[in-house]
């Protein structure tokens, strides 16, 4: 099975290094020197990691055969893909691979059906479940502990405790202008 583990960003310096947007919780395993990664687009790879280092909080990689800025810049926006055994599980108990979460049913604590996970969006601040509702509409659910309270892989479901307004119209919007005008009256 293939997992996207990073996206190549801009070139860094003149010796072929690139910044990478890490998309794995195990960069020390997946993005280590010597790792051979498939790519998307496929014509760009496979790429072998020659060196890796952290600079100003960003991971920098250099690949075998890429020794200058021009070569590094040509790799921009390439996805790096690792081959992973489907039976392999993340090291931490509360971590999941995307393929484990795809197609899980989403229900609220009281058992109300919300929908099914059709996509997982990885954003810098948090991951989002894109959930298709029974009526065909979509809702985005932040994959954070305070909202996604349980993942049950055996039952193929995720239990959520959504705040008002996340999946329904219960949100209350209070305008400060309305409050000010009521106080003046």
CA angle, 48 then 53 then 56, to 5°: 140
Tell the burial category of 63 from Cβ atoms under 10 Å away from its Cβ (0-12, 13-18, 19+): buried
Beta strands (DSSP E) in 13-112 are 17-22, 36-40, 47-55, 58-63, 79-83, 105-108
pLDDT higher than 60, residue 160: yes
What is the pTM for the complete model shown?
0.57
pLDDT of residue 142: 92
pLDDT by residue (tens digit) across 72-128? 999 999 999 988 776 666 666 777 777 788 899 999 999 889 999 998 887 777 888
pLDDT of residue 173: 56
Model confidence at 50, pLDDT cuts 50, 70, 90, reads: very high
The answer to whether residues 143 and 128 touch, using CB atoms and an 8 Å cutoff, is yes
pLDDT higher than 80, residue 37: yes
How long is the chain?
A: 185
Tokens 């921009």 locate to: 76
Tokens 């600079």 locate to: 55
């Amino acid at each position: 099975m293939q997992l996207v583990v990073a996206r190549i960003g801009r070139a860094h310096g003149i010796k072929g290094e690139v910044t990478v947007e890490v998309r794995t919780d195990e960069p020390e395993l997946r993005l280590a020197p010597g790792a051979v990664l498939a790519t998307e687009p496929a014509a760009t790879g496979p790429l072998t990691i020659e060196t890796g280092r952290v600079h100003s909080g960003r991971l920098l990689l250099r690949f075998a055969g890429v020794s200058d800025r021009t070569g590094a810049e040509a790799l921009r926006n390439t996805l790096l893909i690792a081959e992973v055994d489907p039976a392999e599980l993340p090291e931490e108990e509360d971590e999941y691979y995307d393929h484990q979460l795809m197609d899980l049913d989403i229900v609220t604590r009281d058992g109300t059906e919300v929908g099914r996970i059709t996509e997982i969006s990885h954003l810098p601040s948090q991951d989002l479940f894109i959930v298709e509702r029974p009526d065909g509409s979509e809702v985005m659910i932040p994959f954070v502990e305070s909202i996604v309270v349980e993942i049950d892989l055996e039952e193929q479901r995720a239990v959520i405790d959504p705040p008002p307004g996340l999946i329904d119209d219960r949100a209350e919007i209070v305008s400060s202008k309305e409050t000010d005008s009521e106080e003046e009256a």
